[in-house]
Chains A and B, each alone.
Chain A
Amino acid sequence: MTLPVDMSTTLGNAWFPTPIFTASGCASSGKELAQFFPLNQVGAIVTKSVMSKPRHGRPTPRMAETPSGMLNSIGLQGPGIDAFLANDVPWLIEQKARVIVSIAGETVEEYSTLARKLRSVSGISAVEVNISCPNVENRGMVFACDPESSRRVIDGVRKTIGGELPIIAKLSPDVTDLPAIARGVVDAGADGLALINTVLGMVINIDSMKPHLGGKTGGLSGPAIKPVAVRAIYQVHAALPMVPILGMGGVASGRDALELILAGASGVSVGTASFGNPKALIDIQNELRDLLAARGFATMQQAIGYAHRDEA
């Protein structure tokens, strides 16, 4: 018999009983997955990125399955921050779920406005600042592709939100120098990093002989991008070993989650896997606990970044 593994983790000053979270945009606001498992059994529910106003999103088709993955082009459809805070957050807190609210904006000011609305909300564990959604009309709006824009968004959120709520900046892997962008947002006040958002992709329909998705391009997710996530987490953890990383990208099993943790993730979000298996988070959490125990880890936190141990 192996001893039970302490699965707890922290992101900034926020504590979570387990390191397995939902991924923003892959769990809506948690209500649907609650049909399949109690939401308080996982680390946290990371809600779908919400903007200041209600939004229709992009036209259909919004989805294309690809080998071991899928492209999505939702375009941040959502109810807007006011309806979200009135309906979804109180419900999640009632379920005793830990909540990380993900926000997205079109301008630096919109992010600050959203942060101001979150200041007075109690019961939230952290805020994810999504500066890397690929499904926007103007690729110039992907703040995370530009170091200066990334810094300005995080700086604005930090100043508005005050010192208490941990800020997690969600970054894109579609950049040349990810550690430099990571360093910039940490200097601007981010307490943690979410790595990685989807990878920009395209599918062409060979019958219409045009791009298949209504939005033409989409974000690639699923097991196909897991090695990209492992690489990104490894690189950033090597550059900034003290900064907690919420890792995500194609995690579909406990083995996948362990890879991300060994690369340097303090927590792991499960996204696309829930589309195929509504109980994926619970399965992955149980598998991860067994894998950690089998490798002699008494705590999950001992495994964070363990793949870097022989490096000078």
Chain B
Amino acid sequence: MVDALMATINKSAVQEMVTILSNKRVGAYHQILLNVGDIVKNCRPGNFVAISVGGDTSKMILRRAFAISRVSESSQYGGTMELIVAPHGSGSKWLCSQAEGTEIDVVAPLGTAFGIPTEPISALLIGGGYGSAPLFGLADVLKSRGCKVDMLLGASVGSKIYAPMEGKRSVNSLKIYTEDGSMGETGRVTENLLDIVRDRNIDVIYSCGPMAMLSAITALVADLEVIHQCAVEESMACGIGICMTCVLPVRNEDGSTSMLRSCIDGPVMDGSTVRWDLVGKVPEGTA
């Protein structure tokens, strides 16, 4: 528990009003580009942004958290941040309905980032649904460090695969799975995972997507040397570490389990330390 309290909020986090530069529909998602100025300088792949939704008179009082898909420091507008948003709930639907030029209230960057290796390693990036969005920004960074980058994307149907043309340039290979077979191979990203990891001598797996996928990947690679960094998804009320709602059971070095905030100790966590069996439960004994 002491560990949980020692963790601190992302020191670069600021609250600002920013402008929507563009808002386009891409398949089942919206690609939203924000003019965020100098905030981009502190954004790392894996970080997220918390956005106020619904306007001043909204009955929605909580911010919505979105993974930062990618940032650019040098667009013609200065610093820009891209989000890939699925219009599912009332908050994300509101955001997807906002016109270009609208000002929105953001807090960013928040949370932990994917660890970037200093050596040129072999990386496997695995995305589920729109969880693939931050992986393309990560792929750019890995590629610039000389890493070999393979990518697996999965979704229930083809329209829920997010794989932009320009993103594909950052990866050495891309394999797509859908459960209904409407795009790529029929099945899930975990289908041939062990073979892929062994055949391609993967050093690090980076994953982002539904919790069941992250848990399944962790279980499959448990006996291998490979490191698994996953970006978790747990519902949050604040995104800044004060509400204690987004906790996950995480194993400490001494074997005990702490309920850690996924907004501060995550979203990127070491998959092997998450007690996936205890998600939605409470660890036994005292904290």
Measuring CB to CB, which residues of chain A are less than 8 angstroms from any residue of chain B?
25-29, 31-33, 35-36, 48, 53-63, 65, 67-70, 72, 74, 77-80, 83, 87-88, 214, 222-223, 252, 272-279
Contact = CB atoms under 8 A, between A and B. Distances in A.
B286 A69 contact: no
A274 B238 contact: yes
B247 interface: yes
A39 B52 CA distance: 23
Interface stretch (B34-42, B55-63, B189-197): B55-63
Given A63-B237, A70-B62, A28 B281 contact: no
Ranked nearest first, the 9 interchain pairs of A and B with the lowest CB-CB distance are A54-B287, A63-B245, A275-B238, A32-B241, A62-B245, A54-B1, A67-B59, A68-B59, A32-B9
- Of the candidates A77, A79, A276, the one having the most CB atoms from chain B within 10 angstroms of its own CB is A276
B280 interface: yes
Nearest to A86: B2
A279 B242 contact: no
A36 to B, nearest CB: 6
A274 B238 CA distance: 8
A60 B234 contact: yes
Given A56-B287, A60-B247, A278-B107, 16 more contacts: A32-B241, A35-B240, A59-B280, A60-B279, A63-B243, A65-B60, A72-B243, A74-B244, A77-B259, A79-B2, A80-B287, A87-B6, A275-B238, A275-B243, A276-B62, A276-B63
Nearest to A36: B15
20 contacts: A28-B242, A32-B241, A32-B242, A54-B286, A55-B287, A56-B286, A58-B282, A60-B279, A63-B243, A67-B59, A70-B62, A70-B237, A72-B243, A72-B245, A77-B287, A79-B2, A79-B287, A83-B5, A273-B61, A277-B52
B283 interface: yes
A70 B61 contact: yes
Interface in B206-243: 234-238, 240-243
Contact of B282 (A57, A61, A68, A277): A57
Contacts of B236: 63
Contact of B61 (A53, A65, A87): A65
Contacts of B235: 60-61, 63
Given A32-B9, A214-B280, A274-B238, A77 B244 contact: yes
B102 interface: no
B60 A35 contact: no
A84 B271 CA distance: 29
A56 B282 contact: yes
Nearest to B58: A68
A22 to B, nearest CB: 9
Nearest to A27: B242
A57 B261 CA distance: 12
A70 B236 CA distance: 11
Interface string B44-64: 000000001000000111110
Contacts of B4: 79
Contacts of A35: 9, 11, 13, 240
Contacts of B248: 60
B8 interface: yes
Nearest to B262: A60
A88 B243 CA distance: 17
Contacts of B1: 54, 78-80, 83
Nearest to A213: B245
A26 B243 contact: yes
- Of the candidates A33, A59, A61, the one having the most CB atoms from chain B within 10 angstroms of its own CB is A59
A61 B279 CA distance: 9
B63 to A, nearest CB: 6
A272 to B, nearest CB: 7
B13 A87 contact: no
A305 to B, nearest CB: 28
